[in-house]
Amino acid sequence: MRHALAFLLLLLGSPALASDILVLGSLVHEARLAPGQQASGTFEVRNDGEEQASVLLYQRDYVFQADGSNQFPEPGAHPRSNASHVRFEPEQLTIPAGGTAEVRWTLATPAGESRTGSLWSVLMVEPMAEQFQPESAGNERNLAITTVYRTGVQLVTHLGNARDPKLEFTAGSLDQEAGAALLSVDVSNTGDAGLAPQVYAELYDAEGNRVGRYTAGERRIYPGCSARFHIDLAAVPSGTYVAWVIADDGQDHVFGSQLPLAL
């Protein structure tokens, strides 16, 4: 899944948009390792702009919740961070217009690592702000806003066998949008393994007859994080139902919750 992270920088001069730097391929790289083992890989960064671009790479931890909040604390701040296990090069790229550059990463798990389950962090790929500061004419100083997009490449280590893979349904609501019903459910990862569940609802009417399956898609959820899934029930006739909401990661981990619905 692609996570684009934007922040605003106040610069002098005319507005500009720094969105020509793209990370190619998957934004999630993961390895299943034992203590003392390591894995390596690469990804490419492309400059779709018309001028040479400088790009900075740096680490952050990553935590997200169902309310849409995202946090990127300093590397190593989160208890399940693998930032200290990550090596990457180079720390800065200079990419010609229309060109690409390669970034190499290594996940090296220390021999004495005692944690099991999933550890993760992100490698930020960010255009350097200096290149977007236009030259000022004379002594004039004009305030403008430049939007710089940075992309987080997730680096995930799965250590040993997770002791407690677990998902919980922590909240649910039924809303009407433009006359159509939308079921929203929050799923929290309270275990020690990162899971990517497919969430869906199996609906049954008041007589116990199966009405159908309605899907909300798949999201990756790390331990201590949560995600909100939206299930479109616009095609379901008005009535009273029982919904079995299921989170299935496709790897023998299936979690469910029952919800009464009145549409």
Least confident of 19-28, 39-48, 103-112, 175-184: 175-184
Nearest to 144 by CA among 13, 258, 21: 13
Q: What is the mean pLDDT of residues 11-25?
A: 62
pLDDT at 141 over 70: no
Strand partners, 225: none
**Per residue in 179-232, pLDDT tens?**
789 999 999 999 999 999 999 999 999 999 999 999 999 999 999 999 999 999
Q: Are 192 and 223 in contact (CB under 8 A)?
A: yes
pLDDT band of 24, cuts 50, 70, 90:
very high
3-state helix, strand, coil in the chain (%, to 5): 5, 60, 40
Q: What is the dihedral of CA 17, 23, 25, 27, to 10 degrees?
A: -100
Q: Helices H, strands E: what count in the chain?
A: 0, 20
> What is the average pLDDT value for the chain, to the nearest integer?
87
CATH 2.60.40.10 range(s) for the chain read 4-159, 167-262
Superfamily of domain 167-262: Immunoglobulins (2.60.40.10)
Q: Give me the residue label for tokens 């500061």.
A: 133
Task: Tell me: pLDDT of 124 over 90.
Answer: yes
Mean pLDDT over residues 256-262, rounded? 92
Cα distance between residue 154 and residue 57, in whole Å: 13
pLDDT tens digits for range 53-98:
999 999 999 999 999 999 999 999 999 999 999 999 999 999 999 9
> Is residue 147 pLDDT above 50, yes or no?
yes
Percent of residues, the chain, with pLDDT higher than 70: 85
Residue with tokens 């009535």: 239
Residue 12's pLDDT band (cuts 50, 70, 90): very low
C-alpha distance from residue 175 to each of 29, 66, 92, 184, 212 (Å): 36, 16, 47, 8, 19
| Weakest mean pLDDT among 104-118, 164-178, 204-218, 223-237 | 164-178
CB 171 within 8 A of CB 65: no
CA dist 15 and 134 (Å) reads 9
Superfamily of domain 4-159: Immunoglobulins (2.60.40.10)
* Rounded Cα gap, residues 65 and 222, in angstroms: 10
- The rounded percent of the chain whose pLDDT value lies above 90 is 76
SS3 59: strand
Look-up of token digits 């799923």: 187
